[in-house]
Amino acid sequence: MKLEGVYTAIVTPFNKGKVDFKKLAELAELQIKAGVQGIVPVGTTGESPTLTLEEHIKVIETVIDTANGRCTIIAGTGANSTSEAIELTQLAKKVGANATLQVTPYYNKPTQEGLYLHFSTIADEIGLPVVLYNVPGRCGVPIAIETIARLSKNSNIIAVKEAGGSAERVSSILDACEITVLSGDDSLTLPMMAIGAKGIISVASNLVPREIVEMVNAFLSGNISRAEKIHRILYPLFRDLFVESNPIPIKAAMAMRGMIEESYRLPLCPISAKNRDLLAKTLDTFSKKAGQI
């Protein structure tokens, strides 16, 4: 499986505290019509920590059914327990996921050998293509370059979502092994692609999928100046969609645009008044410039 382009880490919409599956299907359809290469349900942006097992799988299944083969579905089925990650991944495979996003186990802080065994076991037991997810800011431990290189020898481990906040890591990974790298930070999409990354697993594309697809496709086709122009227009949005913990700002922004109800599950809560004003101004400024894309 070749991964390239824009993959949206889709939000999980709620209505009166319950998952709004009808709205989820609408959001997935919007993404597909905007031209994304894939959708990633139940990742960090999809509020996976507060979904029940039944909700988790139904969210994945809803997105798969909506896509109906029109784009790649990379199911978020990671956990800090290897057995739990295997169970979730088995269920995702059963309902038709094309691949799995496996986050670094959080809180228990495994050693690099533990990480290697964790990811290898999942890849070997399930046989579903695995995208590693390096996000030390949330998980407390990075996947070392040497560990990624070891894991890349497993034919079922096809890519890494790199959200360590450093373009340097992309160069180091590609110097150490042959594996597809996808940016995990919207604002670093172009810098990472300039040194070898193949695309983005995006948060901002929940709100502006067409524009991010345009930016990435422009870069992939060699139109670097167009890609840079779009990046400059989008950058304030990239920045301010992370003014608080994801997915709080993206859900607030989508609610401002009438796309979803602004609803979270504790411990996530609504955006602060100060940051709501900031985000509203950023959205207004973007709206005035969007016609330039």
Per-residue model confidence as pLDDT tens digits over 86-131: 999 999 999 999 999 999 999 999 999 999 999 999 999 999 999 9
Average pLDDT over residues 244-255: 98
Residue-range domains of the chain with CATH: 5-221 (3.20.20.70)
User: Which pLDDT does position 293 carry in this prediction?
Assistant: 84
**Rounded to two decimals, what is the model's pTM?**
0.96
Whether the pLDDT of residue 32 is over 90: the answer is: yes
Q: What is the mean pLDDT of residues 144-153?
A: 98
Determine how many CB atoms are found less than 10 A away from the CB of residue 288: 8
Band (pLDDT 50/70/90 cuts) for residue 75 is very high
**58, 93, 116, 133: the active-site residue:** 133
| Cα(145)–Cα(161) distance, integer angstroms | 13
- Mean per-residue pLDDT of the chain: 97
Q: Is the pLDDT of residue 137 over 90?
A: no
**Is 116 an annotated catalytic residue?**
no
Q: What would the DSSP string read from start to end of the chain? A: ----EEEEE----EETTEE-HHHHHHHHHHHHHHT-SEEETTSTTTTGGGS-HHHHHHHHHHHHHHHTTSSEEEEE---SSHHHHHHHHHHHHHHT-SEEEEEPP-SS---HHHHHHHHHHHHHHH-S-EEEEE-HHHHSS---HHHHHHHTTSTTEEEEEE-SS-HHHHHHHHHH---EEEES-GGGHHHHHHTT--EEEESGGGT-HHHHHHHHHHHHTT-HHHHHHHHHHHHHHHHHTTSSSTTHHHHHHHHHTTSS-----TT--PPPHHHHHHHHHHHHHHHHHGGG-
Which one of 58, 161, 198, 251 is the catalytic residue?
161
Q: What's the pLDDT band for 292 if we cut at 50, 70, 90? A: confident
pLDDT of res. 253: 98
- In this prediction, residue 165 carries a pLDDT of 87
Mean pLDDT of 137-150: 95
Percent of the residues in the chain that have a pLDDT greater than 70, as a whole number: 100
Question: What mean pLDDT do residues 46-57 have?
Answer: 96
The pair phi, psi for residue 268, each rounded to 5°, is -75, 145
Q: What confidence tier does 291 reach under pLDDT thresholds 50, 70, 90? A: confident
Which tokens is 66 given? Answer: 């909506």
The torsion angles phi and psi of 104, rounded to 5 degrees, stand at: -60, 130
Q: Does 58 qualify as catalytic in the annotation?
A: no
Section 192-207 average pLDDT: 98
Distance in Å from the first CA to the final CA of the chain: 31
